[in-house]
Amino acid sequence: MAAIKDLADYHELVSDLFKQPKSREEWDQYRLTDEQVAHFHEYGYLSGIKLLEDDQIEVLCNQLAEVIDPKHPAHHLFYEFHSNESEDSDSVLFHSLGQWRIASGFHDILWNPAFVMAAHQLLENKPVRFWHDQLFYKPAKHGGVVAWHQDYSYWTRTVAMQHLTCWTGLDDATIENGCLHYVPKSHKWGLLDAPSLAGDMNGLMKYLTEEQKKQFKPVAIEMKKGYGTFHHPLMVHGSYENKSEMSRRAFVINVFADGTVSNTDDELLTGVPIIRKGSKMQGKFFPLLYNPKVWL
């Protein structure tokens, strides 16, 4: 029996799913416009960025079907694995962290040049370091909710707050199948308490001021598969249930600017060696994805 590879040992592309740019000019084709960057800072998000071609989506969908099987031989490499995080059979939310260690495609999307260039720009042109990945799968007809929340409310174990999230659909994301919703400009509200992700959709509301409740006007982020949406770590977002005939599969890549440090002496991710409080986030599990100095 072949030994199980931990792809976290490889901080470069391990397949031919993407092509690594070799010059500043090749990188420049992936740059966001000034208007796109300004939209992100004003509203807290930037949507509709094409990140994948159809053949790449097919590879990732095939690998997703393999890794969500609890009997997968590399299953122990997941940080978290929830066949149904909601624990309600009529409201299913598959959610995992760590598939980048197991499947070549989910490993290599971290180095997707379209993703890392956008992340670099939205992190104010700082080098980009990996935090962790996620898979979300809402099956047709009985897919569950992801409650309103801010990502950083779960991540205060890392500081400073210089994080970024990218959500990319492997199916078309529509209102009917539970697409992401944002509350524009909510990233300016400050840090709120963290509700249960798969619990009451509106669990966050008890933490809002009356003024914030008045400003709570969600917008649906409908996108074709292969397109991504980026959001600020304090952006309030969530997604409703999927009662449609179509599944809603998506992956998330979370990153932070290089120089972020641990804010705890506890485990940062399950099974990952402790990084002492005040020490830089780096090493095997937190690789540097993009450093602009290489192309200066």
Render each residue's pLDDT in the chain as its tens digit; 296 residues: 467 899 999 999 999 999 999 998 999 999 999 999 999 999 999 999 999 999 999 999 999 999 999 999 999 999 999 887 656 656 667 899 999 999 999 999 999 999 999 999 999 999 999 999 999 998 888 767 889 999 999 999 999 999 999 999 999 999 999 999 999 999 999 999 887 776 688 889 999 999 999 999 999 999 999 999 999 999 999 999 888 999 999 999 999 999 999 999 999 999 999 999 999 999 999 999 999 876 54
At residue 49, φ and ψ (nearest 5 deg) are -95, 120
Contacts of 17 (CB under 8 A, 6+ apart): 56, 59, 104, 105, 108, 109
- Picking from 268, 199, 207, 256, the residue whose alpha carbon sits closest to that of residue 236 is 207
**Which candidate, 220, 135, 119, places its Cα nearest to that of 169?**
135
Q: For residue 240, what are its two tokens?
A: 């409703």
Angle between helix 113-122 and helix 34-43 axes, rounded to 10 deg? 60
Which pTM was predicted? Answer: 0.95
CA 273, distance to chain mean position in Å, is 22
Q: Buried (b) or exposed (e) across 121-137, using 16+ Cβ within 10 A?
A: bbbeebbbbbbbbbbbb
3-state secondary structure of 129: strand
- Domains of the chain with CATH codes: 37-251+261-295 (2.60.120.620)
Contacts of 155 (CB under 8 A, 6+ apart): 131, 163, 233, 254
CA distances from 264 to 15, 190, 195, 273, 275 (A): 35, 21, 21, 12, 8
